């Protein structure tokens, strides 16, 4: 957390406040995030924001002479402040805008980061990423081709950013339930009909999560300080020993590559 829906929700929320606005200066209270805050961000001065994009779980601020790359980590969020507010313990970065508003970055666990890139497309974080799951490039033909002869389990495979970006643990659990596929199924055992349904469910669940403002379990807040509401729609994630809402079978929890995997033996095959 935050995953693709939370990052996309943030991007959509802040874009209208930032694009065409200028960053007068930055206030960096703590450079010690996962990586030190880039020196270019510390020295920013009257930089026009041309666009706000997203790639995978990265927010990308396009400026005239480069890009700010933001990752929200495990607990980060960005909020628009319409007036000055006292910074609290975990409020690490402010971008002060020309119109008086402030973009504030809060991150209790400090696993996020703010980096700078002169050339985004050649940046090491970008070059190995798979397709966006909501794009036309992510389709049945693509996933069938990538699934050939793969002997790994489907859940960790879907969470590999080289296959498809941004799904994350919460949504992969939900997607596999909706697709009626056991998370331990070997990838190459899936037939085209199952892969077709999987692609449909990936797009549907991610779009639904974005519509509900993402999922707030602990720290995530939208740009206006409101929580995301998709946690009210979760059917399986975090529901160990509860009963499946589809068939009333008890939900099972296992670990896959140190990540919590929830599934229903009756609904998923």
Q: What are phi and psi of 230, to 5 degrees?
A: -75, -15
Average pLDDT over residues 54-83: 97
Indicate whether 64 pLDDT > 90. yes
Q: Which residues are annotated as part of the binding site for DNA?
A: 90, 109, 150
> Could you tell me which residues are annotated as the binding site?
90, 109, 150
* CATH code 1.20.1090.10 for 140-263: no
Range(s) within the chain of domains with CATH label 3.20.190.10: 4-117
User: What count of residues does the chain have?
Assistant: 269
Tokens found for residue 22 = 């200028």
What's the predicted TM-score (pTM) here? 0.95
pLDDT in tens, 107-160: 999 999 999 999 998 999 999 999 999 999 999 999 999 999 999 999 999 999
Q: Looking at the domain covering 4-117, what would its CATH class be? A: alpha beta
Average pLDDT over every residue of 12-19: 98
The residue with greater pLDDT, 1 or 79, is 79
Domain with CATH 1.10.8.50 in the chain: 140-263
191 burial class (0-12, 13-18, 19+ CB within 10 angstroms)? exposed
How confident is the model at residue 111, as a pLDDT? Answer: 96
Active site residue ranges: 2-3, 57, 259
Buried b (16+ CB within 10 A) or exposed e, 143-172: beebbeeeeebbbbbbbeeebbbbbbbbbb
Q: Is 15 helix (H, G, I), strand (E, B) or coil?
A: helix
Confidence of residue 218 (pLDDT cuts 50, 70, 90): confident
> Given pLDDT bands bounded at 50, 70 and 90, which one contains residue 219?
confident
Measured CA to CA in angstroms, residue 75 lies from 1, 6, 70, 71, 249 at distances of: 7, 11, 13, 10, 33
């Amino acid at each position: 957390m935050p995953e693709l829906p939370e990052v996309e929700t943030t991007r959509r929320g802040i874009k209208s406040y930032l694009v065409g606005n200028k960053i007068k200066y930055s206030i960096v209270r703590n450079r010690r995030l996962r990586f030190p805050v880039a020196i270019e961000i510390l020295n920013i001065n009257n930089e026009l924001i041309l666009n706000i994009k997203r790639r995978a779980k990265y927010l990308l601020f396009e400026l005239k002479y480069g890009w700010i790359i933001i990752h929200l980590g495990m607990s980060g969020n960005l909020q628009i402040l319409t007036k000055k507010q006292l910074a609290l313990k975990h409020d690490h970065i402010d971008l002060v805008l020309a119109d008086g508003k402030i973009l504030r970055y809060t991150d209790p666990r400090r696993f996020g980061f703010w980096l700078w890139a002169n050339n985004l497309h050649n940046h090491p974080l970008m070059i190995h990423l798979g397709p966006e799951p909501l794009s036309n490039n992510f389709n049945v033909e693509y996933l069938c081709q990538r699934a050939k002869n793969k002997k790994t389990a489907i859940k960790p495979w879907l969470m590999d950013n080289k296959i498809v970006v941004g799904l994350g643990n919460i949504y992969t659990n939900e997607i596999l339930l909706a697709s009626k596929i056991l998370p331990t199924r070997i990838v190459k055992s899936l037939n085209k009909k199952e892969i077709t349904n999987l692609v449909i469910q990936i797009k549907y669940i991610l779009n639904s999560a974005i519509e509900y403002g993402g999922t707030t379990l602990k720290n995530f807040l939208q740009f206006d300080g409101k929580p995301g509401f998709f946690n009210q729609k979760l059917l399986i994630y975090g529901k160990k020993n509860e009963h499946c809402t589809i068939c009333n079978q008890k939900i099972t929890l296992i670990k896959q590559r140190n990540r919590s995997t929830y599934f229903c033996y009756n609904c998923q095959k």
